Homo-oligomer: A and B are copies of this chain.
Amino acid sequence: MTQVDVRQRILSDNAAAATALRERFATARTLVVNLISSPGSGKTTLLEATVRAFGGRLKLGAIEGDIATERDADRLRALGIPAHQILTGGSCHLDARQVSGALETHDLGPLDVLFIENVGNLVCPTSYDLGEDFKVALLSVTEGEDKPFKYPSIFAKAAVTVVTKADLLPYVSFKLDDVRGQIAALRPGGTLLVTSATTGQGIAVWCALLEQRLADKRRSTP
């Protein structure tokens, strides 16, 4: 078996596990969002702001992927939502079987929205379907506006790009219009939101988008 064969088998096994997950999430009527970004773009911080903004109005839960430490799950549990940490032990992404395994061993209860926070990485998580309804790519304004074209695959696959840390725009060089242009080229019709968890900018729009997607899913699921 060559390296290419091995990779194809891995992705094919993952696709089967993702299909089973997607059916499970459909039955549970849970909206599932796969969050992908560089380390430190603010995935957990966005989730904290989301939990606070919903204020218990929706049942939220999270699966956190990291190489090491329980830190992210701890931060979300501290806000009162169920969160399970998967430690990948060196792997640069989550896969569907890890998510299945986490759901088998840790019942997160009935959820309206399950956030899967992937390992901080703009490359590896792109190829692994986790049974989610859609992918969200985060890009902080401190990372520079050249990232979508440098990491085109994830920004093409993400239905939503969330620009984070907008409160830092006065202090950095970041051409928002340039990012808009790159996203429009990579993902025509994709959504781009500009947010700051610090000031609250854009958080209500993000929450409204989640509610709309949840309503759409429930309407289309028999």
A:40-85 near B, CB below 8 Å: 40, 66-69, 71
Known: A142-B40, A171-B168. A71 touches B150 (CB 8 A): yes
Q: Report chain B residues within 8 Å CB of A92.
A: 92, 121, 123-124
* Separation of A10 and B2 alpha carbons in the complex (Å): 11
Does A100 lie at the interface of the complex (its beta carbon under 8 Å from any beta carbon of B)? no
Does A131 lie at the interface of the complex (its beta carbon under 8 Å from any beta carbon of B)? no
Does A172 lie at the interface of the complex (its beta carbon under 8 Å from any beta carbon of B)? yes
Query: How many copies, total?
Result: 2
* Separation of A1 and B121 alpha carbons in the complex (Å): 28
Q: Report chain B residues within 8 Å CB of A146.
A: 69, 71
Which of A2, A142, A165 has the most B CB atoms < 10 Å from its CB?
Answer: A142
The answer to whether B150 and A69 touch across the interface, beta carbons within 8 angstroms, is: yes
The answer to whether B67 and A153 touch across the interface, beta carbons within 8 angstroms, is: yes
The answer to whether A120 and B150 touch across the interface, beta carbons within 8 angstroms, is: yes
Does A220 lie at the interface of the complex (its beta carbon under 8 Å from any beta carbon of B)? no
Partner of A153, one of B3, B10, B90, B171: B90
* Separation of A150 and B40 alpha carbons in the complex (Å): 11
Chain B, Cβ-Cβ closest to A1 = B1
Does A99 lie at the interface of the complex (its beta carbon under 8 Å from any beta carbon of B)? no
* Separation of A121 and B39 alpha carbons in the complex (Å): 8
Does A144 lie at the interface of the complex (its beta carbon under 8 Å from any beta carbon of B)? yes
Cβ of A85 to closest chain B Cβ, rounded Å: 11
Does A216 lie at the interface of the complex (its beta carbon under 8 Å from any beta carbon of B)? no
Q: Report chain B residues within 8 Å CB of A90.
A: 123, 153
Cβ of A201 to closest chain B Cβ, rounded Å: 15
The answer to whether B151 and A39 touch across the interface, beta carbons within 8 angstroms, is: yes
Known: A38-B40, A40-B147, A147-B39. A168 touches B153 (CB 8 A): no
Binding site for B on A (CB under 8 A): 1-3, 6, 10, 38-40, 66-69, 71, 90-92, 119-124, 140, 142-144, 146-147, 149-153, 165, 167-168, 171-172
* Besides A38-B120, A67-B152, A92-B123, 10 other A-B contacts (C-beta < 8 A): A1-B1, A2-B6, A3-B10, A67-B123, A68-B152, A71-B150, A91-B123, A120-B150, A120-B151, A124-B124
